[in-house]
Amino acid sequence: MNIAVYPGSFDPTTNGHLDVIERAAKIVDKLIVGVLINPSKHGLFTVEERVAQLKELTKALPNVEVRSFSGLLVDFARSVDARIVIRGLRAVTDFEYEFQMALTNRSLADEIETLFIPTSAHYMYVSSSMVKEVASFGKSVEGMVPESIQKQMDEKFKKA
């Protein structure tokens, strides 16, 4: 059974993330979306909120599971018996960081392979940080994030 982990911050989940999840879920038997618990980074959404959002957004995909993790990605992957790490690639600018991460992970655990999924062309420019910045100025991020995420972001920024 091919088990893969798709790790990230998902703060928030974008349509680009969902595109990668849907496509990865078609090629592996089980996809575990791993939300990083990063105590040194204060996110817009708590890790619990992000996990709940992803669970809701992927509920129609029976082979997708959502969990949080802390520490090293390779340790998390091993703990769930995953041999594959999925990462989405947008533009060439992502490549250097992604390549460095893949090589670091391989040096830590050479049984785990990183697979890159090129994002669909219309999500090439979508990133969580860009989405947050636009939404923080009260502008619509329609088309970049699912509607439910847009609503939750609007609520966060209204309170702030």
Question: Is 72 among the residues that bind ligand PNS (CB under 6 A)?
Answer: yes
Structure tokens at 21: 């999840």
Distance between CA atoms of 159 and 22, rounded to whole angstroms?
Answer: 32
Closer residue to ligand PNS (CB): 62 or 96:
96
Closer residue to ligand PNS (CB): 7 or 12:
7
Mark whether 17 is an active-site residue: yes
Distance between CA atoms of 6 and 22, rounded to whole angstroms?
Answer: 11
Catalytic residue among 17, 50, 87, 132: 17
Catalytic residue among 50, 87, 128, 132: 128
Question: Is 105 among the residues that bind ligand PNS (CB under 6 A)?
Answer: yes
Q: Burial-class residue 97 by CB neighbours within 10 Å (0-12, 13-18, 19+).
A: exposed
Site size toward ligand PNS (CB under 6 A) is 9
For residue 155, the one-letter residue type is E
Binding site for ligand PNS (CB under 6 A): 7-9, 36, 72-73, 101, 104-105
